[in-house]
Structure 1
Amino acid sequence: MDRLCCFSSSHSQYGGHSSGSGKGRNNDGIIKYGFSLVKGKANHPMEDYHVAKFVQIQGHELGLFAIYDGHLGDNVPAYLQKHLFSNILKEEEFWVDPNRSISKAYERTDQAILSHSSDLGRGGSTAVTAILLNGRRLLVANVGDSRAVLSRAGQAVQMSIDHEPNNERGSIENKGGFVSNMPGDVPRVNGQLAVSRAFGDKSLKSHLRSDPDIQDVYVDNSTDVLILASDGLWKVMENQEVVNMARRTKDPLKAAKQLTAEALKRDSKDDISCVVVRLRG
């Protein structure tokens, strides 16, 4: 595999907030992205991490985008930021069967996290990843409730599946776990975790899944914007209004900042992280 080489990007960070932008190219011109991460109101350090970059590998251009939303600490999302995409691209069959390579890399990365739990701790992380291959093919994978949404002809198309405990109750119960539904609270696996799939979480892993759902689509002239965000955004905003806001603003960095600011304005308590990729001018 060739050495990873990034295209232009910029980044700033201050007071729990970070933002940045960059661009790549396809046959039709330039693809631009921007990201904005804002620390939530909870009394713990920022637990969201992101990836947003273009790399050149073996004559192909890959856009790599991700949101990792940690819980019980930031060690696991930090590990994912460093290792998950490299693990995917190390799979020998990636160029032949990228879907299988993504699934295998997700599982192998989770096993590595669990084997290093003495260093990484007992926490975990959700993940939503997007690989844009030569500006034409889009591969989105996720575990947990961070979400990817695509704009197709201006309509919001959800590209990931929110892995909520009630939706996968059968799988959890078959493994000896249970789903709590306490008044005033969200459903939780064994009364603890509000997602049914995640990386890490060694104490719950026997009742959790870490295999991703994958969407594989081709990008055409009707697809103009891709948004990846943590649940701090999706808890307070609908898919279509997020797409509408992102499409109104040509600068994806400005759009990402507007989206995180709007989520804060709507009193989202969680960390709020957003990557906006403008696929068309």
Structure 2
Amino acid sequence: MNGGLSPLFLREMRMPLQESDPPPMRPLSDLVTEDEVEGECLDLCLQRGRKPSPSLLSASSCRLKITSPVTLLASIVRLLKSYSQAELWRTEMLLFEMCCLWLKELPFRRRPQPYYETSIHAIKNMRRKMEDKHVIIPDFNSLFNIQDQEEQAYFAVFDGHGGVDAAVYAANHLHVNLVHQESFNQDPIEALCKAFKVTDEGFVKKAAREHLRCGTTGVVTFLRGRTLYVAWLGDSQVILVRKGQVVELMKPHKPDREDEKLRIEALGGCVIWFGTWRVNGSLSVSRAIGDSEHKPYICGDADHDVFPLDGSEDYLILACDGFWDTVVPDEAVRVVSDHLEENSGDTTMVAHKLVASARDAGSSDNITVIVVFLRDPRCPPPTARA
């Protein structure tokens, strides 16, 4: 395994580009602001490093390149105006050289990482465009060079409507906004809710600059040590499965939810039936990032909850409404259980099976599913710790 690197990584690590080759990554818009540079840089690095490198290498290499004054950040800032192919080529060379060094010696890790095996699948389905985005950061500390905190992980699903721009923005920036909140170390759930708000405000400004009319729902799970933090807007959802049983973590924001209906009507809006319940006859969700023309009825205030973990938890399922509208939680658990039993605990295709179950049940929407395993399903379940 060569120091813990997978054979896939060793086999598929691409040779550096030649100067005549096309750029390895998309250029940034010249409308990107200074506040957005870090999130955009991290996204570019993760796109380049995610396949086939292991999560540790992806996270660590991104952070090394972001923090080094002679590497990616300086290059990307210049790219905002020039789109220099030479700069992109130089960035590619630096990544290749770093990977070559890591083939000989991996970065030192002070603590073992918790078990966060993931299975992910996303399809456009019958929609004209794919407007979902998802984020998987099992090694949050390495990505942000956090030295003095318990192990942390971040998983999110964003379901865009009216275009993909809001979902892309949230996927690129919400975790960056989270780590920069003053309350991040002491009160993660407060920081998470503020990050949603800051992300919403940032996208509203971007939408005004670029004449965008779209929004996105979102659900985020943030794990710190033995605590799970959940925050959400709209109807993307997450469930926890403990000892094979569903644990409800949240209630989606639908316009016909009584408290949401009262909030909207108190602001002067209305909830009416138009194929489904909609805010002012338009949107079928009552909270979202973006949707400037529908505020304040479509608000950007996230709901949240906190759940202590005792070691008996099996996994999380995060998914957009394209999944949950046709598959109930108990059915999702049955699909996962059957797949694991039939495949000796192999998790590789779990998300594919879940997506297929939603499509077969009649979903025509975009479908994104992330399954985050909190323990190895190939091992017997542990007894709950006190």
Q: Which of the residues 264, 268, 292 maps onto 1:172?
A: 264
Amino acid at match of 2:355: T
Amino acid at match of 1:133: R
C-alpha distance in 2 between matches for 1:263 and 1:58: 41
Change (3 A) 1:177 1:253: farther
Structure 1: tracts of 5 or more residues without a match = 13-19
C-alpha distance in 1 between matches for 2:113 and 2:367: 32
Q: Does 1:75 align with 2:170?
A: no
Q: Which has the higher strand share?
A: 1
Match of 1:47 in 2: 131
Which region of structure 1 is more displaced relative to structure 2, 211-220 or 20-29?
20-29
Render the CA deviation track for 1:12-46: whole Å, top value 9, x for unaligned: 9xxxxxxx996899879632112111112122x20
Match of 2:116 in 1: 31
Which region of structure 1 is more displaced relative to structure 2, 27-36 or 207-216?
27-36
Change (3 A) 1:63 1:100: same
1:62 Cα offset (Å): 1.7
C-alpha distance in 2 between matches for 1:244 and 1:21: 30
C-alpha distance in 2 between matches for 1:251 and 1:149: 21
The number of residues matched between the two structures is 265
> Residues 88-107 of structure 1: matches in 2 within 5 Å?
88-107=178-197
Q: Percent identity?
A: 35
Q: Which of the residues 259, 263, 266 maps onto 2:354?
A: 259
1:120 Cα offset (Å): 6.2
Match of 2:231 in 1: 141
C-alpha distance in 1 between matches for 2:162 and 2:291: 9
1:11 Cα offset (Å): 4.8
SS at match of 2:318: strand
Amino acid at match of 2:147: Q
C-alpha distance in 2 between matches for 1:93 and 1:29: 24
Render the CA deviation track for 1:124-178: whole Å, top value 9, x for unaligned: 00000011113x1111110000000000221111212210101111100111111
> Residues 120-199 of structure 1: matches in 2 within 5 Å?
121-134=212-225, 136-167=226-257, 168-182=260-274, 185-199=275-289
Q: Which of the residues 124, 131, 147 maps onto 1:58?
A: 147
C-alpha distance in 1 between matches for 2:199 and 2:168: 13
C-alpha distance in 2 between matches for 1:224 and 1:206: 39
Q: Does 1:201 align with 2:296?
A: no
Q: Does 1:269 align with 2:364?
A: yes
Which region of structure 1 is more displaced relative to structure 2, 79-88 or 96-105?
96-105
Kindly name which structure, 1 or 2, has the bigger radius of gyration based on alpha carbons.
Answer: 2
SS at match of 2:134: strand
1:109 Cα offset (Å): 1.2
Amino acid at match of 2:290: G
Q: Does 1:246 align with 2:246?
A: no
Render the CA deviation track for 1:65-106: whole Å, top value 9, x for unaligned: 000000000000000010001101111211101111111111
For the 8 Å contact 1:35–1:252, the answer to whether it is kept is: no
- Report the TM-score, using the length of structure 2 for normalisation: 0.64
SS at match of 2:292: coil
SS at match of 1:203: helix
C-alpha distance in 2 between matches for 1:267 and 1:50: 22
CA RMSD for the aligned pairs?
2.5
- Report the TM-score, using the length of structure 1 for normalisation: 0.87
Structure 2: tracts of 5 or more residues without a match = 1-41, 60-108, 377-386
Amino acid at match of 1:80: A
C-alpha distance in 2 between matches for 1:233 and 1:11: 26
1:264 Cα offset (Å): 1.4
For the 8 Å contact 1:229–1:273, the answer to whether it is kept is: yes
Which region of structure 1 is more displaced relative to structure 2, 81-90 or 204-213?
204-213
Change (3 A) 1:38 1:66: same
SS at match of 1:125: strand
C-alpha distance in 2 between matches for 1:270 and 1:142: 20
C-alpha distance in 2 between matches for 1:104 and 1:225: 26
1:236 Cα offset (Å): 0.8
Render the CA deviation track for 1:173-192: whole Å, top value 9, x for unaligned: 1111111113xx11000101
C-alpha distance in 2 between matches for 1:30 and 1:122: 40
C-alpha distance in 2 between matches for 1:251 and 1:213: 34
Change (3 A) 1:11 1:147: farther
SS at match of 2:371: strand
C-alpha distance in 1 between matches for 2:122 and 2:54: 12
